[in-house]
Amino acid sequence: MDSINDFVARKHGRSKVTYYDDRLRHILEETYGAIVYQEQVMRISMEMAGFPASKAEKLRKAMGKKIQQIMDQLYPEFIEGSVERGTARRSRSRSGTTSRSSRSTPSTRVTQRRTACSRTRRPT
Q: List pLDDT tens digits, range 1-19.
A: 677 888 888 889 998 998 8
How confident is the model over 27-45, as pLDDT tens digits? 999 988 888 889 999 999 9
CA dist 11 and 77 (Å) reads 33
Number of CB atoms found within 10 A of residue 33's CB: 20
DSSP state of 31: G
CA dist 91 and 119 (Å) reads 34
- pLDDT for the residue numbered 4: 81
How confident is the model over 45-83, as pLDDT tens digits? 999 999 999 999 999 999 999 999 999 999 999 999 988
Q: Which string of b and e fits 101-121 if b means at least 16 CB within 10 Å?
A: eeebeeeebeebeeebeebee
CA dist 116 and 100 (Å) reads 15
Instruction: Identify which has the larger pLDDT, 115 or 32.
Output: 32
Instruction: Look up the pTM and report it.
Output: 0.65
Longest dimension (CA), the chain: 44
- pLDDT for the residue numbered 96: 45
